[in-house]
Copies of this chain bind each other. A is one copy, B any other.
């Protein structure tokens, strides 16, 4: 055996093995259109967990399951007293999900361990791969359930009590599939956390760049806005006597987008859901309810966008004399990643010769909760047309491999190779 430390720089994962594992896991819940339906805590999720933990044991790892069903696959370090350098993600999918979202992050971690095993490389700190329960939130809410309980964002009891549309509880389903463990969620030190993930957006593809060095996750503000006008017949009601709720609502919808443009480069503003009442061709709308989604890279910027939409609605209320309500329904703080972890990802990408750029994550990930507990960072790779949460979700094998190599070297930098 060669001296591991002297050759670490040349170390590369086995991309074909990783791809083969991704494709094999994707068979569990495979859909006709090439996607995956493997809802959290379903029979298929159990099969996926069984396969992943089998692979982990075959790679010499120990398996610990906590009370919310999170799995920790551990490769011991030379100093077991050190907290592990962890990677992970989730293996549950959306009902019409793809092969890569989440699954890639877990299997990339296993490939890192397989690669270290191949070369007999030992690390001072242990290496762990986590799979977090119910990240998607399709069957049970809240989303990012396992990592959220782990980070004490909400209680185990809250998570246990969540029910699906058939009335089944998280606790009951965890018991049923045999993935309710003994360990208290969170009673598990973490020395550092990395997560590889497809971008789920178009930025890397648009720039022709392989690796996104994720600097943080956008803060999110979700609102419901309701404009109340006066329902009236579109024919006999002159313009001057109308109280057209949609005409007023569309002004606010336009402003949502304008606010995002006024807070670049990461400001985002979306109206995704609109309900018009009574929604009849020849009736002036009497009531319009719509969602507002504002995001930005810091809470200060998200707060500035919040202030802008409130001011605009106040002004519109005064100008139109119509009741307009704005209710904040959810708020997620912005989560910058740790400077050293971000730098480790950038260094690894540069060393490996992969084009890379700093990016933000517009969507939530388990890494957001881990960043509350330990230094954390993320690695993005491009996905085709920026599409995810869709059966046509796709990623190139060379990007899958590249992201995993970046993960390997970033983790080794933190876990320290034994020379």
Residues of A participating in the B interface, judged by any CB pair closer than 8 Å: 199-203, 206, 218, 220, 222, 232-239, 241, 244, 246-247, 250-251, 253-254, 257, 260-261, 264-274, 276, 279-285, 291, 293, 295, 361-364, 386-389
Given contacts A246-B271, A272-B282, contact A239 B260 (CB under 8 A): yes
Q: Name the B residues within 8 Å of A273 (CB-CB).
A: 276, 279-281
Q: Name the B residues within 8 Å of A254 (CB-CB).
A: 247, 250-251, 254
Given contacts A253-B250, A254-B254, A282-B293, contact A237 B272 (CB under 8 A): no
Q: What is the CB-to-nearest-CB distance from A214 to chain B, in angstroms, rounded to a whole number?
A: 11
- On whether the beta carbons of A235 and B220 are closer than 8 Å, the reply is yes
CA distance in complex: A222, B200 (Å) = 40
How many copies the complex holds: the figure is 2
CA distance in complex: A407, B271 (Å) = 52
Q: Name the B residues within 8 Å of A283 (CB-CB).
A: 272
Q: Name the B residues within 8 Å of A246 (CB-CB).
A: 253, 271-272, 274
Q: Name the B residues within 8 Å of A236 (CB-CB).
A: 199-203, 361-363, 386
4 closest A-B pairs by CB: A201-B236, A235-B362, A236-B362, A234-B270
Q: Name the B residues within 8 Å of A279 (CB-CB).
A: 272-274
- On whether the beta carbons of B257 and A235 are closer than 8 Å, the reply is no
Q: Name the B residues within 8 Å of A218 (CB-CB).
A: 235
Q: What is the CB-to-nearest-CB distance from A128 to chain B, in angstroms, rounded to a whole number?
A: 27
Residue from B202, B234, B237 within 8 A of A232 (CB atoms): B202
- On whether the beta carbons of A389 and B233 are closer than 8 Å, the reply is yes
- On whether the beta carbons of A363 and B233 are closer than 8 Å, the reply is yes
